[in-house]
Amino acid sequence: MAISSPFAKLPFKTKGYITLAGGFLIHFILGTFYLWGNMGSYIASYLQNDGQDYTNNDVGAVFPFMMLAINIGILFGVTIAKKIGFRLLCLICSFFIGVGIFTSSFALKNFALFTFLYGFVFGVFNGLAYMLPFNLCYTYFPEKKGIVSGVIAGAFGLGAAVWIWLVNGLINPDNIDPIHTDPNDSDSPKYYPASVTDNLPRSIRIFAIVYFSIATFGSLLIEEPTKEELQQIEEEQNAQFEKLIDGYEQHKEVECENLKDGLKTRLIYITFGLAAMYASFGAMLVANYKNYGLYLNFSSSFLSIVSTVGSISNGLSRFFWGAVYQKVPFKWIAILNLSLQCVISFTLRWASQVEAVYLIYITFMYFLYGGWYAVLPATITKIYGKKIGNIIYGVTFSGFTIAGFFQFFVVTKVQTAIGWGNMFWVFTGVQLLAIIFTFFVKFEINWKERYAALRQKDEEFEYSSKSLDTK
């Protein structure tokens, strides 16, 4: 059911580069997910000005809810695309992302409905589209998974750097800072005045139109390999496997053959848990860098710069980590990343007292956080194989959702009890545990040996059954 395009008859690699460009544009829009750290304070202020008692922390619940919706979509995206066509599904996702955000602008006074439209609808179709460019581009560039991951995931990170200026330019063009709800209490919450939040509904509708237009254009660039090209790729891989595997007849057993076999491995659940630990601190700062910055009395304009530089760092980091992944094993990348996170989370309470240092810290943390989205998809695909790796990654990606809910719980419950500075140390503890676990995990599965053992077990069972029948 794939939609025909003028790119169909182009050379194989040319189609690969065009598809990579389309994937970049799609993820450039999907990455607007990161804008919630900036948008949340405007939403909370709008509700406060409407007389509703929603706080910044309450509105922060949308972030993990959106991550959950993305994760649901990721689980089914590739499977659906293989049935109806990758380009068609990308176009469908582009349409519903635009519709979800556009209609949410009319539901701002009903926070539950707004959360469903902006959080769930946007999130599900974001997730459905998320893995599609990875899947196709891994086919076009099988030996460059790390670089491909960096390019596509880089767009996801860079998107927020561009769109935050559109957000602030439309909603808060005069850079008006939020004000305390109680002028006599410097610890009271801060919210933007109605002169700012009145711009919100119209601005969201403009975002929706822009997002839809760019995502649709990117979707039209998506080109699937023909059946003949796929067959040729498989034949080439077969020839390579025959050289690599001494006398082993079934090359297919160098990778996981189906989801059932993948779900029987312990590693999938280990990577799920590790992903939650890896991303928890980064998710917290992405969602709360602005709330914490406002608590420190930094201006809105400065925090926009922080978000921009941080998002650029996030995007570029994926190119960097993707390239490093081509040379360095995942385990050592993870340990290095976590070690640097420990330094940041432990010292942030003191570093954040100076604006310039706060900017550096948040920027570097975005850089580290972005790395997981470049190296984990490539790692899971390498372990489980192209056939099932992208679906398995949907399970691992669930760990990022858990990270989102964990950081929300810590911010709303722990931070209010012990303060921001002490709360950061909770994440330091999580990172230290993650380093220990990562060191002892073996990030590989020998499918040849695994399937051989399963065959032997089946043969022994069959022999045992025959012996019993004979007796």
**385-391-392 Cα angle (round to 5):** 70
In total, the chain counts a number of residues equal to 471
- pLDDT score of 462 more than 70: no
Q: What pLDDT score was predicted for residue 103?
A: 96
Please report whether residue 459 resides in a domain: no
- pLDDT score of 333 more than 90: yes
Please report whether residue 291 resides in a domain: yes
Mean pLDDT for 215-223 is 93
Report the percent of the chain where pLDDT is more than 90: 44
Please report whether residue 328 resides in a domain: yes
Please report whether residue 7 resides in a domain: no
Q: What is the DSSP letter of 26?
A: H
What are the helix (H) ranges across 352-446? 355-384, 386-409, 415-418, 420-440
> Among 184-193, 260-269, 412-421, which is the least confidently predicted range?
184-193
State whether residue 190 is helix, strand or coil. Answer: strand
How many structural domains are present in the chain?
Answer: 1
Q: What H or E segment, with its residue span, contains residue 264? A: none
**21-35, 139-153, 406-420, 428-442 — most confident range:** 428-442
Write out pLDDT tens, residues 345-371: 999 999 999 999 999 999 999 999 989
State whether residue 309 is helix, strand or coil. Answer: helix
Write out pLDDT tens, residues 266-293: 999 999 999 999 999 999 998 889 889 9
**137-121-212 Cα angle (round to 5):** 60
248: its two tokens:
């082993």
Evaluate whether 26 touches 108 at the Cβ level (below 8 Å).
no
CATH assignment at residue 333: 1.20.1250.20
- pLDDT score of 432 more than 90: yes
Name residues whose C-beta falls within 8 Å of residue 247's C-beta, 6 or more positions apart in sequence: none
Please report whether residue 352 resides in a domain: yes
Name residues whose C-beta falls within 8 Å of residue 337's C-beta, 6 or more positions apart in sequence: 278, 368, 371, 372
Q: What pLDDT score was predicted for residue 465?
A: 56
Give the span between the Cα atoms of 452 and 253, in whole angstroms: 9
Domain that holds residue 88: 12-223+255-440
Q: What pLDDT score was predicted for residue 461?
A: 52
Please report whether residue 108 resides in a domain: yes
Between residues 46 and 62, which one has the greater pLDDT? 46
* Predicted model pTM: 0.77
Please report whether residue 460 resides in a domain: no
- pLDDT score of 435 more than 80: yes
Please report whether residue 464 resides in a domain: no
Evaluate whether 14 touches 5 at the Cβ level (below 8 Å).
no
- pLDDT score of 101 more than 80: yes
Map tokens 């023909």 to a residue: 226
Reference 25, options 208, 213, 206, 253; nearest CA is 213
Tell which phi-psi region holds residue 188, choosing left (phi > 0), alpha (psi between -120 and 50) or beta. Answer: beta
